[in-house]
Amino acid sequence: MLPIKSKYKIAKRLGAGIFEQTQTQKFALSEARSKKIRRGGRGGSDYGRQLLEKQRVRFTYGISERQLSNYAKEAYKAPDPSTTLHRSLEMRLDSVAYRAALASTRRAARQMASHGHLLVNGKRTTTPSYRLHKGDSISVREGSRRSPLFAQLTEEGREASRNAPKWLTCDMSAMKVDVVGEPLYVPGETALDYPTVFEFYSR
């Protein structure tokens, strides 16, 4: 688990969007001032650019190097590698719980899953990386509904769930999320550059 100070250091190198704690106006202003005085670094090389993008993906989803490498190798075999990689990352149980606003951060979503608070199609699972598919549903286990982890599922949580992606439908009163579609990778709408990640792994 990364301490907050470490997250700020990583976000200054990789971009504010990779951690929820750094998606603030104060951080953005600080980063803008830093860029004015920042010079050099290996980020200008092809390798540096590829490495930074790979790290951005890894820290955004909170996964290990081995996990990302495995996802990339699997996706590279598909007709559309970028969409396949994006879908694999977004359809993880922890990612769906986060996108649906069951959790305010991906870290909290991973805790929910690993501690067995979430059900997939009515069955308890403790694997944050569990891959969901269209037609699946996730819900909060009955015995966990009074846990402080789900205290945000009030008006704030219901409001956040309205911003869930279109491939999810959320019922916060029932603490239930249905996967009704699949995420697409649209370069202009997605902050991550997956083709650059494949460039890194193809070296």
Q: Supply 46's token pair.
A: 């092809």
- Does residue 44 or residue 181 have the better pLDDT? 181
pLDDT per residue as tens digits for the range 95-132: 999 999 898 889 989 999 999 999 999 999 999 999 99
Mean pLDDT of 14-40: 50
Mean pLDDT of 71-75: 97
Question: For domain 43-184+193-203, is the CATH number 1.20.1260.10?
Answer: no
Alpha-carbon distance values, 136 to 68, 99, 104, 131, 183 (Å): 23, 15, 21, 10, 14
CA separation for the pair 85, 179 (Å, rounded): 18
Residue with tokens 């990778």: 185
Share of the chain above pLDDT 90, in %: 58
Give the per-residue pLDDT at 39.
41
- The overall average pLDDT reported for the chain is 82
Other beta carbons less than 10 A from residue 77's beta carbon? 8
Record the pTM: 0.78
